[in-house]
Amino acid sequence: MKEIIKNYKFNGDYQLRTVFQTAIQKKIETINFDYLVVIPVDSETMNNRGFNQVCGLLTIKHSHFLKRNDTVKEKQSHKNRHQRLELVQPFALSSDCPDLTGKVVLVVDDIYTTGRTLFYAIDLLASRAKCVKSITLAR
């Protein structure tokens, strides 16, 4: 799994997304939600990689209510566990985020390492939504 993710995410083998699309789609279909929100990548990553690895996993409509705070420069993959746990809030809500009052939001990410990425996303969305759930491809 580690090698596949490395090739997909860091070596840009976009075709590998299809390996997981059916499985993650089936799991998502079992979850009740109003909005499916993806963990965003920063602008530098998008420019270099050319795709958001989480969006590539999805074949269904998803929202981009979260945006990455581009002032946080060092990538999670370059940090150790302690450094990841000390990360400051890397997200903000996008200007097109609707009123989430009474809504259930499902957040999708690719890898759960320390849980900090999801913690920050959920923390930001939970202050506005009825409920926030999450799903990741791997841990």
Q: β-pairing, 104-111 with 35-38?
A: parallel
Residue matched to tokens 């450094």 = 83
For position 87, what pLDDT does the model report?
73
Domain of residue 12, CATH code = 3.40.50
Domain limits for position 16: 2-138
pLDDT-derived band at 38 (thresholds 50, 70, 90) equals: very high
The predicted-structure confidence for 18-37, as pLDDT tens digits, reads as follows: 999 999 999 999 999 999 99
Spatial separation of the C-alpha atoms in residues 2 and 8, rounded to whole Å: 10
Which residue matches tokens 């998803």? 62
- Please name the residues in contact with 78: beta carbons below 8 A apart, sequence gap of 6 or more: none
Q: What is the total count of domains within the chain?
A: 1
Structure tokens at 41: 């990548």
Whole-structure pTM value: 0.86
Radius of gyration of the chain measured on its C-alpha atoms: 15
Cβ-proximal residues to 15 (8 Å cutoff; 6+ apart), any chain: none
pLDDT tens digits for range 94-129: 999 999 999 999 999 999 988 999 999 999 999 999
* Alpha carbons 65 and 47: distance in angstroms, whole number: 20
Residue labelled with tokens 């590539």: 56
